[in-house]
Amino acid sequence: MPAMTPTTSCAFLITVLLAFSDLLCAGLNAQASGSILSGTVVDVSQAAIPNVRVTLTNVSTGVARTVSTDPTGLYTLANLPPASYEMTAAAMGFTTQVRTDITLDLGAKLVLNVVMEAGDPNQVIRVSVSGSPADSASSAPGGNVSSSTVLDSPLNGRDWTQLATLQAGVTGVQTGTAEGGGNMERGFGAALSISGARPDQNSYRLDGVTINDYSNGAPGSVLGDNLGVDAVQQFSVLGSNYPAQFGRTTGGVINAVTRSGTNAFHGSVYEFLRNSALDARNFFDARIPPFKRNQFGGSLGGPIQKDRTFVFADYEGLRQSLGVTQVNTVPSAAARNGALSTGPVRVDPAISRYLQAFYPLPNGASLGNGDIGIFSFAGQQVTTENYFTTKLDRKFSDRDSISGTYMRDNSIVVQPDAFDELLTNVVSRRQLLTLDEEHIFSSKFLNAVRFGFNRAVAIEGGVSKVMNPMMADPAFGFIPGQFVGSIQSVPGLTDFGG
Protein backbone atom coordinates (compact mmCIF):
# COMPACT_ATOMS: atom_id res chain seq x y z
CA MET A 1 0.00 0.00 0.00
CA PRO A 2 1.61 3.31 -1.00
CA ALA A 3 2.10 5.83 1.76
CA MET A 4 -0.28 8.75 2.08
CA THR A 5 1.06 11.64 0.04
CA PRO A 6 -0.12 15.12 1.03
CA THR A 7 0.26 18.02 -1.32
CA THR A 8 -0.03 21.46 0.21
CA SER A 9 -0.03 24.93 -1.22
CA CYS A 10 0.16 28.03 0.95
CA ALA A 11 0.06 31.26 -0.98
CA PHE A 12 0.39 34.64 0.65
CA LEU A 13 -0.71 37.43 -1.62
CA ILE A 14 -0.32 41.01 -0.43
CA THR A 15 -1.34 43.62 -2.96
CA VAL A 16 -0.88 47.25 -2.02
CA LEU A 17 -2.60 49.57 -4.45
CA LEU A 18 -1.34 53.13 -3.95
CA ALA A 19 -3.17 55.60 -6.11
CA PHE A 20 -0.74 58.53 -5.88
CA SER A 21 -2.00 59.71 -9.24
CA ASP A 22 -4.85 62.03 -10.10
CA LEU A 23 -7.94 59.77 -9.91
CA LEU A 24 -9.94 62.49 -11.61
CA CYS A 25 -7.91 62.01 -14.76
CA ALA A 26 -9.74 59.53 -16.99
CA GLY A 27 -6.47 58.03 -18.25
CA LEU A 28 -4.86 57.37 -14.85
CA ASN A 29 -6.93 54.89 -12.85
CA ALA A 30 -5.97 52.95 -9.75
CA GLN A 31 -5.39 49.23 -10.22
CA ALA A 32 -8.33 47.99 -8.18
CA SER A 33 -10.39 44.83 -8.53
CA GLY A 34 -13.72 46.63 -8.36
CA SER A 35 -15.57 48.72 -10.89
CA ILE A 36 -14.76 52.31 -11.87
CA LEU A 37 -17.37 54.97 -12.64
CA SER A 38 -16.20 58.21 -14.21
CA GLY A 39 -17.51 61.04 -16.33
CA THR A 40 -17.71 64.78 -16.83
CA VAL A 41 -20.10 67.35 -15.40
CA VAL A 42 -20.94 70.27 -17.73
CA ASP A 43 -23.60 72.95 -18.04
CA VAL A 44 -26.06 73.32 -20.93
CA SER A 45 -23.40 75.17 -22.96
CA GLN A 46 -21.00 72.18 -22.51
CA ALA A 47 -18.69 74.22 -20.27
CA ALA A 48 -16.98 72.19 -17.53
CA ILE A 49 -18.17 72.76 -13.96
CA PRO A 50 -15.51 72.34 -11.24
CA ASN A 51 -16.10 71.47 -7.56
CA VAL A 52 -19.40 69.68 -8.18
CA ARG A 53 -20.12 67.35 -5.27
CA VAL A 54 -20.77 63.89 -6.77
CA THR A 55 -22.16 61.28 -4.36
CA LEU A 56 -22.64 57.62 -5.30
CA THR A 57 -24.85 55.57 -2.96
CA ASN A 58 -25.17 51.78 -2.86
CA VAL A 59 -28.92 51.18 -2.91
CA SER A 60 -28.73 47.93 -0.91
CA THR A 61 -26.44 49.08 1.89
CA GLY A 62 -26.78 52.86 1.94
CA VAL A 63 -22.98 53.22 1.87
CA ALA A 64 -22.04 56.41 0.01
CA ARG A 65 -18.85 57.64 -1.68
CA THR A 66 -18.36 61.36 -2.41
CA VAL A 67 -15.88 63.08 -4.74
CA SER A 68 -15.59 66.51 -6.34
CA THR A 69 -15.02 67.34 -9.98
CA ASP A 70 -11.68 68.82 -11.01
CA PRO A 71 -11.22 72.06 -13.02
CA THR A 72 -12.01 70.15 -16.23
CA GLY A 73 -15.28 68.77 -14.78
CA LEU A 74 -13.97 65.22 -14.46
CA TYR A 75 -14.87 62.88 -11.60
CA THR A 76 -13.79 59.28 -10.90
CA LEU A 77 -15.08 56.78 -8.34
CA ALA A 78 -12.80 53.71 -8.13
CA ASN A 79 -12.83 50.27 -6.50
CA LEU A 80 -16.62 49.97 -6.41
CA PRO A 81 -18.27 46.60 -5.68
CA PRO A 82 -20.81 45.37 -8.25
CA ALA A 83 -24.26 46.60 -7.21
CA SER A 84 -27.08 48.99 -8.06
CA TYR A 85 -26.32 52.62 -7.32
CA GLU A 86 -27.86 56.08 -7.21
CA MET A 87 -25.71 59.11 -8.08
CA THR A 88 -26.30 62.71 -6.96
CA ALA A 89 -24.51 65.75 -8.44
CA ALA A 90 -24.92 69.04 -6.54
CA ALA A 91 -23.38 72.50 -6.91
CA MET A 92 -24.28 76.07 -5.95
CA GLY A 93 -26.33 77.81 -8.63
CA PHE A 94 -27.45 74.58 -10.29
CA THR A 95 -30.37 72.23 -9.79
CA THR A 96 -29.46 68.94 -8.10
CA GLN A 97 -29.19 66.07 -10.57
CA VAL A 98 -29.99 62.49 -9.47
CA ARG A 99 -29.31 59.42 -11.61
CA THR A 100 -31.00 56.20 -10.51
CA ASP A 101 -30.85 52.53 -11.56
CA ILE A 102 -27.11 52.59 -12.24
CA THR A 103 -25.85 49.01 -12.47
CA LEU A 104 -22.13 48.36 -12.13
CA ASP A 105 -20.81 44.96 -13.20
CA LEU A 106 -17.69 43.34 -11.83
CA GLY A 107 -14.48 44.94 -13.10
CA ALA A 108 -16.27 47.35 -15.43
CA LYS A 109 -15.02 50.84 -16.28
CA LEU A 110 -18.12 52.88 -17.02
CA VAL A 111 -18.73 56.46 -18.08
CA LEU A 112 -21.73 58.55 -17.01
CA ASN A 113 -21.76 62.22 -17.99
CA VAL A 114 -24.05 64.74 -16.32
CA VAL A 115 -25.47 68.01 -17.67
CA MET A 116 -26.33 70.57 -14.95
CA GLU A 117 -29.04 73.20 -15.36
CA ALA A 118 -28.91 76.61 -13.69
CA GLY A 119 -31.43 76.94 -10.88
CA ASP A 120 -32.22 76.34 -7.21
CA PRO A 121 -30.06 73.56 -5.65
CA ASN A 122 -33.11 72.51 -3.63
CA GLN A 123 -34.84 71.54 -6.85
CA VAL A 124 -34.08 67.89 -7.63
CA ILE A 125 -34.26 66.37 -11.09
CA ARG A 126 -34.33 62.56 -11.09
CA VAL A 127 -33.47 60.58 -14.22
CA SER A 128 -33.47 56.80 -14.48
CA VAL A 129 -30.49 55.47 -16.40
CA SER A 130 -31.73 53.13 -19.12
CA GLY A 131 -29.57 49.99 -18.72
CA SER A 132 -25.91 50.38 -17.78
CA PRO A 133 -23.74 53.32 -18.81
CA ALA A 134 -21.46 52.70 -21.76
CA ASP A 135 -18.27 50.79 -20.99
CA SER A 136 -15.60 52.95 -22.59
CA ALA A 137 -12.46 51.29 -21.28
CA SER A 138 -12.74 47.51 -21.58
CA SER A 139 -11.64 45.78 -24.77
CA ALA A 140 -11.21 42.32 -23.26
CA PRO A 141 -13.40 39.61 -24.81
CA GLY A 142 -15.59 37.85 -22.27
CA GLY A 143 -18.60 38.76 -20.21
CA ASN A 144 -20.24 39.09 -16.80
CA VAL A 145 -22.62 36.66 -15.15
CA SER A 146 -25.08 38.30 -12.77
CA SER A 147 -26.21 36.92 -9.41
CA SER A 148 -29.68 36.13 -10.77
CA THR A 149 -28.14 34.02 -13.55
CA VAL A 150 -25.87 32.28 -11.05
CA LEU A 151 -28.78 31.40 -8.76
CA ASP A 152 -31.40 30.51 -11.39
CA SER A 153 -29.33 28.40 -13.79
CA PRO A 154 -29.74 24.60 -13.49
CA LEU A 155 -26.18 23.67 -12.51
CA ASN A 156 -25.32 20.00 -12.07
CA GLY A 157 -23.68 19.89 -8.65
CA ARG A 158 -24.32 23.64 -8.08
CA ASP A 159 -20.82 24.49 -9.33
CA TRP A 160 -20.78 28.20 -10.22
CA THR A 161 -17.65 27.93 -12.39
CA GLN A 162 -19.68 25.90 -14.91
CA LEU A 163 -21.30 29.17 -15.98
CA ALA A 164 -18.00 30.23 -17.50
CA THR A 165 -18.76 27.88 -20.40
CA LEU A 166 -21.65 30.17 -21.38
CA GLN A 167 -19.07 32.69 -22.61
CA ALA A 168 -17.64 32.57 -26.13
CA GLY A 169 -14.28 30.85 -26.42
CA VAL A 170 -14.62 28.78 -23.22
CA THR A 171 -14.66 24.98 -23.45
CA GLY A 172 -14.41 22.21 -20.87
CA VAL A 173 -11.42 19.85 -20.91
CA GLN A 174 -11.72 16.31 -19.53
CA THR A 175 -8.58 15.60 -17.49
CA GLY A 176 -9.94 13.48 -14.65
CA THR A 177 -12.20 10.50 -14.21
CA ALA A 178 -15.75 9.83 -15.27
CA GLU A 179 -16.80 9.66 -11.62
CA GLY A 180 -15.96 13.36 -11.13
CA GLY A 181 -13.04 15.57 -10.29
CA GLY A 182 -9.58 15.69 -11.70
CA ASN A 183 -6.56 14.04 -10.12
CA MET A 184 -4.18 15.06 -7.38
CA GLU A 185 -1.27 15.80 -9.70
CA ARG A 186 -3.23 18.18 -11.97
CA GLY A 187 -5.68 19.42 -9.35
CA PHE A 188 -9.29 18.50 -8.71
CA GLY A 189 -11.01 21.48 -10.33
CA ALA A 190 -12.83 21.21 -13.64
CA ALA A 191 -10.35 22.22 -16.35
CA LEU A 192 -11.36 24.96 -18.78
CA SER A 193 -9.70 26.20 -21.94
CA ILE A 194 -10.25 29.94 -22.48
CA SER A 195 -9.43 31.40 -25.88
CA GLY A 196 -7.44 28.27 -26.72
CA ALA A 197 -5.07 28.52 -23.72
CA ARG A 198 -4.09 25.53 -21.59
CA PRO A 199 -6.17 25.00 -18.42
CA ASP A 200 -3.20 25.67 -16.13
CA GLN A 201 -2.69 29.09 -17.74
CA ASN A 202 -5.95 30.46 -16.33
CA SER A 203 -6.24 32.62 -13.24
CA TYR A 204 -9.11 32.22 -10.77
CA ARG A 205 -9.73 35.19 -8.46
CA LEU A 206 -12.15 35.58 -5.57
CA ASP A 207 -12.54 39.03 -4.03
CA GLY A 208 -9.34 40.08 -5.78
CA VAL A 209 -7.20 37.19 -4.47
CA THR A 210 -5.86 34.33 -6.60
CA ILE A 211 -7.38 30.95 -5.64
CA ASN A 212 -5.55 28.65 -8.06
CA ASP A 213 -4.58 25.39 -6.38
CA TYR A 214 -1.13 23.95 -5.69
CA SER A 215 -0.76 22.79 -9.33
CA ASN A 216 -1.80 26.23 -10.61
CA GLY A 217 -4.96 24.54 -11.83
CA ALA A 218 -8.61 25.26 -11.28
CA PRO A 219 -9.80 25.18 -7.65
CA GLY A 220 -12.22 22.45 -6.65
CA SER A 221 -13.16 19.73 -4.21
CA VAL A 222 -12.58 15.99 -4.75
CA LEU A 223 -15.61 16.01 -7.07
CA GLY A 224 -14.15 18.90 -9.04
CA ASP A 225 -16.91 21.33 -8.02
CA ASN A 226 -16.95 24.76 -6.42
CA LEU A 227 -19.90 25.03 -4.07
CA GLY A 228 -21.34 28.30 -2.77
CA VAL A 229 -23.59 29.42 -5.60
CA ASP A 230 -25.65 31.44 -3.11
CA ALA A 231 -22.52 33.28 -1.97
CA VAL A 232 -21.50 34.57 -5.42
CA GLN A 233 -22.64 38.11 -6.13
CA GLN A 234 -21.27 38.17 -9.67
CA PHE A 235 -18.41 36.84 -11.71
CA SER A 236 -16.78 37.68 -15.00
CA VAL A 237 -14.74 35.83 -17.60
CA LEU A 238 -11.98 37.63 -19.50
CA GLY A 239 -10.56 35.85 -22.52
CA SER A 240 -7.58 38.02 -23.43
CA ASN A 241 -6.39 41.62 -23.72
CA TYR A 242 -7.48 42.31 -20.15
CA PRO A 243 -6.30 45.31 -18.06
CA ALA A 244 -3.05 45.33 -16.09
CA GLN A 245 -4.68 44.52 -12.75
CA PHE A 246 -5.49 41.04 -14.08
CA GLY A 247 -1.88 39.93 -14.46
CA ARG A 248 -0.12 36.69 -13.50
CA THR A 249 -1.53 34.67 -16.39
CA THR A 250 -1.37 34.08 -20.12
CA GLY A 251 -4.76 32.38 -20.32
CA GLY A 252 -8.18 33.56 -19.22
CA VAL A 253 -9.33 35.17 -15.99
CA ILE A 254 -12.36 34.03 -13.98
CA ASN A 255 -13.02 36.77 -11.45
CA ALA A 256 -15.72 36.40 -8.78
CA VAL A 257 -16.90 38.52 -5.86
CA THR A 258 -18.60 37.29 -2.69
CA ARG A 259 -22.07 38.51 -1.80
CA SER A 260 -22.32 41.10 0.99
CA GLY A 261 -25.00 41.75 3.55
CA THR A 262 -27.40 44.66 3.07
CA ASN A 263 -29.66 46.86 5.19
CA ALA A 264 -32.42 44.25 4.84
CA PHE A 265 -32.15 40.71 6.16
CA HIS A 266 -32.30 38.13 3.40
CA GLY A 267 -31.61 34.41 3.29
CA SER A 268 -32.54 31.03 1.92
CA VAL A 269 -32.82 27.37 2.92
CA TYR A 270 -32.71 24.62 0.32
CA GLU A 271 -32.18 20.95 -0.45
CA PHE A 272 -31.62 19.32 -3.83
CA LEU A 273 -32.02 15.59 -4.44
CA ARG A 274 -30.77 13.53 -7.35
CA ASN A 275 -31.01 9.73 -7.60
CA SER A 276 -30.83 6.78 -10.00
CA ALA A 277 -34.58 6.32 -10.50
CA LEU A 278 -34.39 7.38 -14.15
CA ASP A 279 -30.82 6.25 -14.90
CA ALA A 280 -30.03 3.74 -17.63
CA ARG A 281 -27.83 0.65 -17.25
CA ASN A 282 -24.52 0.79 -19.10
CA PHE A 283 -22.99 -2.13 -20.96
CA PHE A 284 -21.00 -3.51 -18.00
CA ASP A 285 -23.67 -3.12 -15.32
CA ALA A 286 -25.52 -6.25 -14.19
CA ARG A 287 -28.09 -3.82 -12.78
CA ILE A 288 -28.40 -0.06 -12.51
CA PRO A 289 -25.88 1.03 -9.85
CA PRO A 290 -27.56 2.93 -7.00
CA PHE A 291 -26.94 6.66 -6.95
CA LYS A 292 -28.11 9.32 -4.53
CA ARG A 293 -26.99 12.90 -4.04
CA ASN A 294 -28.26 15.33 -1.43
CA GLN A 295 -27.19 18.97 -1.48
CA PHE A 296 -28.53 21.14 1.29
CA GLY A 297 -27.72 24.36 3.04
CA GLY A 298 -28.72 27.91 3.68
CA SER A 299 -27.56 31.51 3.55
CA LEU A 300 -28.29 34.60 5.61
CA GLY A 301 -27.23 38.21 5.25
CA GLY A 302 -28.15 41.47 6.90
CA PRO A 303 -27.03 44.48 8.92
CA ILE A 304 -25.22 44.40 12.24
CA GLN A 305 -25.36 48.19 12.34
CA LYS A 306 -27.50 49.85 9.69
CA ASP A 307 -25.57 51.74 7.02
CA ARG A 308 -22.33 50.75 8.76
CA THR A 309 -21.72 47.02 9.33
CA PHE A 310 -23.01 44.09 7.27
CA VAL A 311 -22.52 40.33 7.40
CA PHE A 312 -23.30 37.48 5.03
CA ALA A 313 -22.81 33.74 5.65
CA ASP A 314 -23.44 30.67 3.51
CA TYR A 315 -23.21 26.93 4.24
CA GLU A 316 -23.64 24.11 1.77
CA GLY A 317 -23.32 20.37 2.39
CA LEU A 318 -23.11 17.54 -0.12
CA ARG A 319 -23.70 13.85 0.56
CA GLN A 320 -23.33 11.52 -2.40
CA SER A 321 -23.33 7.76 -2.87
CA LEU A 322 -22.48 6.76 -6.43
CA GLY A 323 -22.55 3.17 -7.66
CA VAL A 324 -19.43 2.36 -9.70
CA THR A 325 -19.06 -0.90 -11.64
CA GLN A 326 -15.48 -2.22 -11.56
CA VAL A 327 -14.44 -4.56 -14.40
CA ASN A 328 -11.08 -6.35 -13.99
CA THR A 329 -9.15 -9.30 -15.42
CA VAL A 330 -7.86 -11.97 -13.00
CA PRO A 331 -6.24 -15.43 -13.34
CA SER A 332 -8.58 -18.41 -13.66
CA ALA A 333 -8.63 -21.11 -11.00
CA ALA A 334 -6.63 -23.44 -13.24
CA ALA A 335 -4.07 -20.80 -14.20
CA ARG A 336 -3.23 -19.85 -10.64
CA ASN A 337 -2.42 -23.57 -10.01
CA GLY A 338 -0.15 -23.72 -13.07
CA ALA A 339 -2.54 -25.42 -15.50
CA LEU A 340 -2.22 -23.04 -18.45
CA SER A 341 -3.76 -23.56 -21.86
CA THR A 342 -0.25 -23.85 -23.33
CA GLY A 343 0.77 -26.54 -20.86
CA PRO A 344 1.45 -26.98 -17.13
CA VAL A 345 3.97 -24.75 -15.37
CA ARG A 346 5.33 -24.62 -11.86
CA VAL A 347 4.02 -21.74 -9.74
CA ASP A 348 6.51 -20.50 -7.17
CA PRO A 349 4.97 -20.86 -3.68
CA ALA A 350 5.98 -17.27 -2.87
CA ILE A 351 3.85 -16.11 -5.81
CA SER A 352 1.02 -18.56 -5.24
CA ARG A 353 0.30 -17.24 -1.75
CA TYR A 354 -0.28 -13.75 -3.17
CA LEU A 355 -2.54 -15.08 -5.94
CA GLN A 356 -4.65 -17.05 -3.46
CA ALA A 357 -4.82 -14.24 -0.91
CA PHE A 358 -5.52 -11.19 -3.05
CA TYR A 359 -6.69 -12.10 -6.55
CA PRO A 360 -10.39 -13.07 -6.62
CA LEU A 361 -11.70 -15.79 -8.90
CA PRO A 362 -13.45 -14.73 -12.11
CA ASN A 363 -17.19 -14.23 -11.78
CA GLY A 364 -17.74 -13.44 -15.46
CA ALA A 365 -16.76 -14.71 -18.88
CA SER A 366 -13.41 -16.28 -19.64
CA LEU A 367 -11.05 -14.44 -21.96
CA GLY A 368 -8.70 -15.78 -24.64
CA ASN A 369 -7.81 -19.41 -24.04
CA GLY A 370 -9.40 -19.41 -20.61
CA ASP A 371 -6.31 -18.53 -18.56
CA ILE A 372 -7.89 -15.25 -17.41
CA GLY A 373 -11.45 -14.13 -16.80
CA ILE A 374 -13.60 -11.17 -15.86
CA PHE A 375 -14.13 -10.18 -12.24
CA SER A 376 -16.65 -7.39 -11.76
CA PHE A 377 -18.54 -5.88 -8.87
CA ALA A 378 -20.63 -2.81 -8.14
CA GLY A 379 -19.11 -0.69 -5.38
CA GLN A 380 -20.18 2.59 -3.84
CA GLN A 381 -18.17 5.79 -4.10
CA VAL A 382 -19.25 7.83 -1.07
CA THR A 383 -18.49 11.56 -0.96
CA THR A 384 -18.95 14.02 1.90
CA GLU A 385 -18.36 17.74 1.45
CA ASN A 386 -18.91 20.73 3.72
CA TYR A 387 -18.54 24.28 2.42
CA PHE A 388 -18.76 27.48 4.45
CA THR A 389 -18.07 31.14 3.69
CA THR A 390 -18.74 34.42 5.43
CA LYS A 391 -18.12 38.06 4.56
CA LEU A 392 -18.01 41.06 6.87
CA ASP A 393 -18.16 44.68 5.67
CA ARG A 394 -17.56 47.68 7.95
CA LYS A 395 -17.67 51.39 7.14
CA PHE A 396 -15.79 53.25 9.89
CA SER A 397 -16.25 56.71 8.42
CA ASP A 398 -16.71 58.49 5.12
CA ARG A 399 -13.00 57.92 4.52
CA ASP A 400 -12.29 54.43 5.90
CA SER A 401 -13.88 51.04 5.25
CA ILE A 402 -12.79 47.40 5.50
CA SER A 403 -14.13 44.07 4.30
CA GLY A 404 -13.05 40.49 4.88
CA THR A 405 -13.98 37.06 3.56
CA TYR A 406 -13.29 33.61 4.99
CA MET A 407 -14.00 30.42 3.05
CA ARG A 408 -13.48 26.78 4.05
CA ASP A 409 -14.23 23.69 1.96
CA ASN A 410 -13.53 20.14 3.21
CA SER A 411 -14.33 17.06 1.14
CA ILE A 412 -13.53 13.34 1.19
CA VAL A 413 -14.37 10.51 -1.20
CA VAL A 414 -14.26 6.87 -0.04
CA GLN A 415 -14.28 4.10 -2.65
CA PRO A 416 -13.30 0.42 -3.00
CA ASP A 417 -10.09 -0.68 -4.63
CA ALA A 418 -9.97 -2.76 -7.82
CA PHE A 419 -10.72 -6.08 -6.08
CA ASP A 420 -13.08 -4.81 -3.32
CA GLU A 421 -10.62 -5.68 -0.54
CA LEU A 422 -10.31 -2.29 1.13
CA LEU A 423 -11.82 1.19 1.04
CA THR A 424 -9.41 3.96 0.05
CA ASN A 425 -9.99 7.68 0.41
CA VAL A 426 -8.97 10.95 -1.18
CA VAL A 427 -9.17 14.14 0.88
CA SER A 428 -9.28 17.78 -0.20
CA ARG A 429 -9.19 20.77 2.14
CA ARG A 430 -9.25 24.43 1.05
CA GLN A 431 -9.13 27.70 2.98
CA LEU A 432 -9.22 31.30 1.85
CA LEU A 433 -8.92 34.53 3.81
CA THR A 434 -9.09 37.98 2.24
CA LEU A 435 -8.90 41.42 3.83
CA ASP A 436 -9.43 44.69 1.98
CA GLU A 437 -8.95 48.12 3.58
CA GLU A 438 -9.73 51.35 1.77
CA HIS A 439 -8.84 54.90 2.80
CA ILE A 440 -9.88 58.03 0.94
CA PHE A 441 -7.35 60.82 1.49
CA SER A 442 -9.35 63.30 -0.55
CA SER A 443 -11.70 63.37 -3.49
CA LYS A 444 -8.62 62.89 -5.67
CA PHE A 445 -6.60 60.27 -3.78
CA LEU A 446 -7.60 56.70 -2.82
CA ASN A 447 -5.48 54.02 -1.18
CA ALA A 448 -6.56 50.36 -1.14
CA VAL A 449 -4.66 47.57 0.66
CA ARG A 450 -5.50 43.92 0.02
CA PHE A 451 -4.22 40.82 1.86
CA GLY A 452 -4.97 37.24 0.82
CA PHE A 453 -4.18 33.78 2.20
CA ASN A 454 -5.02 30.74 0.07
CA ARG A 455 -4.28 27.16 1.17
CA ALA A 456 -5.11 23.94 -0.67
CA VAL A 457 -4.37 20.43 0.66
CA ALA A 458 -4.84 17.14 -1.19
CA ILE A 459 -4.17 13.73 0.37
CA GLU A 460 -4.55 10.42 -1.43
CA GLY A 461 -3.76 6.85 -0.44
CA GLY A 462 -5.61 6.83 2.88
CA VAL A 463 -7.42 3.70 4.05
CA SER A 464 -10.90 3.97 5.57
CA LYS A 465 -11.68 0.26 5.99
CA VAL A 466 -10.00 -3.10 5.33
CA MET A 467 -12.36 -5.87 4.15
CA ASN A 468 -9.64 -8.47 3.46
CA PRO A 469 -7.71 -8.88 6.74
CA MET A 470 -4.70 -10.27 4.89
CA MET A 471 -4.15 -6.81 3.40
CA ALA A 472 -2.87 -5.74 6.81
CA ASP A 473 -1.04 -9.00 7.56
CA PRO A 474 2.67 -8.14 8.07
CA ALA A 475 3.57 -11.52 6.59
CA PHE A 476 2.53 -10.22 3.17
CA GLY A 477 4.19 -6.82 3.46
CA PHE A 478 7.13 -6.04 1.18
CA ILE A 479 8.34 -3.71 3.93
CA PRO A 480 8.17 -5.05 7.52
CA GLY A 481 5.17 -3.67 9.39
CA GLN A 482 3.55 -2.20 6.27
CA PHE A 483 0.57 -3.08 4.08
CA VAL A 484 1.07 -5.55 1.28
CA GLY A 485 2.87 -4.01 -1.69
CA SER A 486 1.43 -3.51 -5.15
CA ILE A 487 1.72 -5.97 -8.05
CA GLN A 488 1.86 -4.19 -11.38
CA SER A 489 2.49 -4.66 -15.09
CA VAL A 490 1.60 -8.37 -15.30
CA PRO A 491 0.50 -8.86 -18.93
CA GLY A 492 -3.25 -9.47 -19.21
CA LEU A 493 -4.01 -8.88 -15.52
CA THR A 494 -5.38 -5.89 -13.64
CA ASP A 495 -2.79 -4.29 -11.37
CA PHE A 496 -3.12 -5.07 -7.68
CA GLY A 497 -2.78 -1.77 -5.86
CA GLY A 498 -1.82 -3.14 -2.46
- Which H or E element spans position 109? strand 109-111
User: Collapsing DSSP states into helix, strand and coil, what is residue 325?
Assistant: strand
Average pLDDT over residues 457-484: 84
Q: How much is the pLDDT for 142?
A: 58
Provide CB contacts within 8 A for 329, sequence distance 6+: 367, 372, 373, 374, 375, 492, 493, 494
Question: What pLDDT score does 381 carry?
Answer: 92
- What is the Cβ-side half-sphere exposure of residue 477, based on CA atoms within 13 angstroms? 13
Would you state the pLDDT for residue 434? 95
Residue 2: what pLDDT?
Answer: 42
Poorest-pLDDT segment among 167-176, 202-211, 264-273, 374-383:
167-176
Q: What is the mean pLDDT of residues 277-285?
A: 78
Confidence grade of residue 183 (pLDDT, cut at 50, 70, 90): low
Query: Which range has the top average pLDDT, 91-95, 130-134, 143-147?
Result: 91-95
Other CB atoms closer than 10 Å to residue 245's CB: what's the count? 18
User: Where are the extended beta strands (E) located within 154-238?
Assistant: 170-173, 191-194, 203-206, 209-210, 232-238
Q: Which residues of 400-439 are buried (b: 16+ CB within 10 A; e: fewer)?
A: ebebbbbbebbbbbbbbbbbbbbbbbbbbbbebbbbbbbe
Q: In the chain, what percentage of residues exceed pLDDT 90? A: 35
Task: Specify the length of the chain in residues.
Answer: 498
284 or 43: whose pLDDT is higher? Answer: 43
Reduce the DSSP state of residue 357 to 3 states and report it. Answer: helix
- Asked whether the predicted pLDDT for residue 118 surpasses 50, the reply is yes
The pLDDT, as a whole number, for residue 13 is: 40
Average pLDDT over residues 399-427: 93
All domains of the chain in start order, with CATH: 30-128 (2.60.40.1120)
pLDDT confidence bin for 140, thresholds 50/70/90: low
> Are residues 411 and 384 in contact, defined by beta-carbon separation less than 8 angstroms?
yes
Instruction: State the pLDDT at residue 33.
Output: 62
pLDDT band of 107, cuts 50, 70, 90: confident
Q: Is 60 exceeded by the pLDDT of residue 31?
A: no
> Hey, which bits of 202-276 come out as E strands?
203-206, 209-210, 232-238, 253-258, 266-275
**pTM (2 d.p.):** 0.80
pLDDT digits 0-9 by tens, 47-86? 999 999 999 999 989 889 999 999 999 999 988 888 889 9
